Amino acid sequence: MVLASLPLTYDECRARFRWWCAKAGLEVEPHPIDARGPEGQQLTIDVTQVGATSPERALIVMSGVHGVEGYIGSAMQCELIDRLVPQALPDGFAVLLLHAVNPWGMAWWRRQNESNVDLNRNWNRDHVTPPPNPGYDELHPFLCPDSPELPTPESFLDRSRVLLEERGMPWMQAAVSGGQYTHADGLYFGGDRTEQSTRIVASVVAERLGAVGQSLCVDLHTGHGAPGTYTILLDAPPGSEPHNWLSERFDADRIEATVGNPHATTAHKVGQIGHGLADVLPESVHRSITLELGTVSDTRMILSGRSENWVHHHGDRTAPAGVDALWANRRCYTPDDPAWADHALAHGRVVLDAAVRSAAGHEPLLASDT
């Protein structure tokens, strides 16, 4: 099955997800969050499970942790449901799908959630004091200026060029996207408490998969990496056991081990959900990867996110300049381009099918195999 078009709104994504679940005979468990959508509509994290009810091995697939990145992830989950043949999955194996982990961000076209929190920097925040990020503190006035007008790109680029020359790219990556816990109106803010969505994910996974001995989490994202390609991010050192395990099962050329890697294209982050799930799966050998689908350049991504953040905090979302900034930002995460969507869905099929086989421990039947 190939989706005819990419759903454009949270509501459409959720409707499609529920429709594909119903078609496959799967129950959907909706978990409402308190915040509402732009039309006042209820927002939910929808959960379904394919295969065993008390599994020993499990694959967890999440979409929409970063709201506005979630439309393609939602489509990938629908396609996966359609490809899985539940009766052919091995005994004791299940696929748990969490749809729209940040439904508010998906509905409002924001990467952050209703509290301006980056949910992928927020795991167990109630009990964790994350490390400071002095680099971000230095950049914040340029990244998120409290200016009366939409800030110009130059007011950030001029400063960042100097800093890049002085400190180098790893410093810049860690400063910008490593996560920060000091500026609640800033970018990549990890929050000052555990957010509702994070708590829902933790309780759902603990309740449904508490007994698993082996688990793999695939978290679906967009916006990082070369446009039109995909990258599998692994928060482990190159050559480590997790890296070797992954390299034997996925396209090794697409895997980037981000810890202790001088060639890494992204910072190591604290508070990621996929990793954090190990806390609620105490009996499990738990592994976690992030699938990133490249869209536009990092510079364009940062500048668009900066403009959108300014509109959210200081501007008017409904004024023409505000709408332009929101749409430009949305297109950075989900390009308005059917060819991009086709490639992204094809990449998603490759990675998720490999994930099913890897997590199951052997080759289950997929609809595409029959």
Interface residues toward Zn ion, by CB under 5 A: 66, 69, 221
Buried b (16+ CB within 10 A) or exposed e, 255-292: bbbbeebeebbbbbbbbbbbbbbbebbeebebbbbbbb
Tell me the closest approach of the beta carbon of residue 93 to Zn ion, in angstroms: 27
Tell me the closest approach of the beta carbon of residue 240 to Zn ion, in angstroms: 23
Residue with structure tokens 């490249």?
Answer: 294
Check if the beta carbon of residue 170 is closer than 8 Å to that of residue 6: no
Check if the beta carbon of residue 47 is closer than 8 Å to that of residue 96: yes
Q: Which is nearer to Zn ion, 69 or 114 (CB)?
A: 69
Strands (E) across the chain are located at 29-36, 42-51, 57-62, 93-99, 214-222, 230-234, 255-257, 285-293
Q: Which is nearer to Zn ion, 10 or 93 (CB)?
A: 10
Tell me the closest approach of the beta carbon of residue 144 to Zn ion, in angstroms: 19
Tell me the closest approach of the beta carbon of residue 111 to Zn ion, in angstroms: 7
Tell me the closest approach of the beta carbon of residue 98 to Zn ion, in angstroms: 15
Check if the beta carbon of residue 224 is closer than 8 Å to that of residue 188: no
Tell me the closest approach of the beta carbon of residue 142 to Zn ion, in angstroms: 22
Q: Which is nearer to Zn ion, 28 or 176 (CB)?
A: 176
Structure tokens at 27: 């129950």
Tell me the closest approach of the beta carbon of residue 259 to Zn ion, in angstroms: 18
Tell me the closest approach of the beta carbon of residue 223 to Zn ion, in angstroms: 6
* Pick from 28, 109, 113: nearest CA to 332: 109
* Pick from 289, 340, 366: nearest CA to 79: 366
Check if the beta carbon of residue 99 is closer than 8 Å to that of residue 46: yes
Q: Which is nearer to Zn ion, 215 or 222 (CB)?
A: 222
CA 109 to chain centre: 14
Task: List, in sequence order, every residue forming a beta bridge with 61; answer none if it has no partner.
Answer: 97, 218
CB atoms inside a 10 Å sphere around CB 339: 9
